[in-house]
Amino acid sequence: MLATRAVEPELRSDRLALFDALVRHGGFSAAARALGIPQSSVSQQIAALEADVGEPLIDRSTRKLRLTEAGQSLALHARTVLDALESSRAALRNLSTVARGPLRLGASDTLATHLLPPVLAAFRVAHPHAELQLDNRPSPALAERVAARELDVAVVTLPLPGGTSADSLKQLPLCAQTDVVIAPPSHALASRKRITAAELTKHPLVLLDRTTGTRAWLERYFAQANVSARVVMEMSSLEVLKRLVSLGFGVSVVPDFSVRADVEAKQLITRPLVNAQRRMVGLVLPPSPSRIALSFVELARVTLRGV
């Protein structure tokens, strides 16, 4: 008879699994065959488990497998413990493939409206348990919020203005952005195939406000061309801007993907801008992005490929 220990028994999961197999298969030789190990190994591990527990688990006075009171008690709980361990292992494995929890995503109004809907739809299908939190701001402000760890990832227009804390972020290009001049179909610029900075600044301009990356980019463009723009209206909403341009209040410069429906409806015309720097839609992430942010990045890359 093994001496009963005063301390709590130690239960190793590998020995507990072998004991469970012994009970389920009804004997040492049957368990050994099922597990593909020598019968002597089964006997040694059960003996070691009995030493850990401090009680005999098997009644060895008979050839047929018979459990002691301690063995019966352990057998009742062994399967529950092993199932719980397997559930825990499965949950850990799933962490590598299933993103859960909140995704704090930033995107400008323009990108959220005209470019991201298919990405957001794909993310919802791929990660139904993830909570999406969308923050609408201009690209420079979003980059600052990612740098401050207030957002997990942001979809922005690149390049960002320099000299900010956003310089330390990871910047990943997604797809090209072509900026075009927009005007009503009846406008004088409709007769032009391409528009220069000098031609553009002869007309009143309706532009996004100075908090936006687009406005900063246009200011640099005009400065490099050594021309001055006559801005008659500025605002934060691209949709309002497009409506005012269609009504004849001025002309503007916007991403081409944001006005495709308006062009098809013959409410606006678009023309290329001469010598304009090519910009990109991209992602900004902190130096150590979360798993859910990386999952969004991969979905965005796949969904927007070829856009």
Mark whether 133 and 220 lie in a shared domain.
no
Mark whether 287 and 154 lie in a shared domain.
yes
Give the angle subtended at the CA of 12 by the CAs of 6 and 16, to the nearest 5°: 105
Q: Specify the pTM.
A: 0.65
Mark whether 137 and 83 lie in a shared domain.
no
pLDDT tens series, the chain, 307 aa: 454 444 566 778 888 888 888 888 888 888 888 888 998 988 898 898 888 888 898 988 888 889 899 888 888 888 888 877 776 666 555 555 555 679 999 999 999 999 999 999 999 998 888 899 999 999 999 999 999 999 999 999 998 876 656 677 899 999 999 999 999 999 999 999 999 999 999 999 999 999 888 999 999 999 999 999 999 999 989 999 999 999 999 999 999 999 999 999 999 999 999 998 889 999 999 988 998 999 999 999 989 886 6
Please give the pLDDT value at position 89: 67
Burial class (CB in 10 A: 0-12, 13-18, 19+), 267: middle
Tell whether 244 is covered by a domain.
Answer: yes
Give the up-direction half-sphere exposure of residue 13: CA atoms within 13 A in the CB hemisphere.
Answer: 9
- Decide: 46 and 19 in contact? Cβ < 8 Å: yes
Mark whether 60 and 143 lie in a shared domain.
no
Mark whether 209 and 157 lie in a shared domain.
no
Q: How far is CA 287 from the centre of its chain?
A: 15
Mark whether 183 and 273 lie in a shared domain.
yes
Mark whether 288 and 262 lie in a shared domain.
no
Q: Among all chains, which residue has been given the structure tokens 């021309």?
A: 227
Residue 142 structural domain: 101-176+280-303
Please give the pLDDT value at position 299: 92
Q: Which of 130, 159, 164 is nearest to 146 (CA)?
A: 164
CA distance 249 to 63: 99
Mark whether 67 and 110 lie in a shared domain.
no
Q: Which amino acid is present at 258?
A: S
Tell whether 8 is covered by a domain.
Answer: no
- Decide: 250 and 233 in contact? Cβ < 8 Å: yes
Tell whether 2 is covered by a domain.
Answer: no
Torsion of CA 254, 255, 256, 261, to 10 degrees: -80
SS (H, E, C) 147-181: HCCCCCEEEEEECCCCCCHHHHCEEEEEEEECEEE
The CATH number that applies at residue 42 is 1.10.10.10
Mark whether 40 and 74 lie in a shared domain.
yes
Mark whether 197 and 270 lie in a shared domain.
yes
- Decide: 92 and 218 in contact? Cβ < 8 Å: no
Tell whether 257 is covered by a domain.
Answer: yes
Tell whether 3 is covered by a domain.
Answer: no
**242-245 — which CB contacts under 8 Å span 24+ positions?**
242/182, 242/268, 244/206, 245/182, 245/183, 245/184, 245/206
250 three-class SS: coil
Number of domains, the chain: 3
- Decide: 232 and 204 in contact? Cβ < 8 Å: yes
Residue 151: C-alpha distances to residues 88, 105, 255 (Å): 30, 6, 24
DSSP type of residue 58? B
CA distance 290 to 306: 26
Final residue in a domain of this structure, among 94, 114, 129:
94
Mark whether 183 and 261 lie in a shared domain.
yes
Mark whether 183 and 267 lie in a shared domain.
yes
User: 140: which 2 tokens?
Assistant: 């420079």
The CATH number that applies at residue 149 is 3.40.190.10
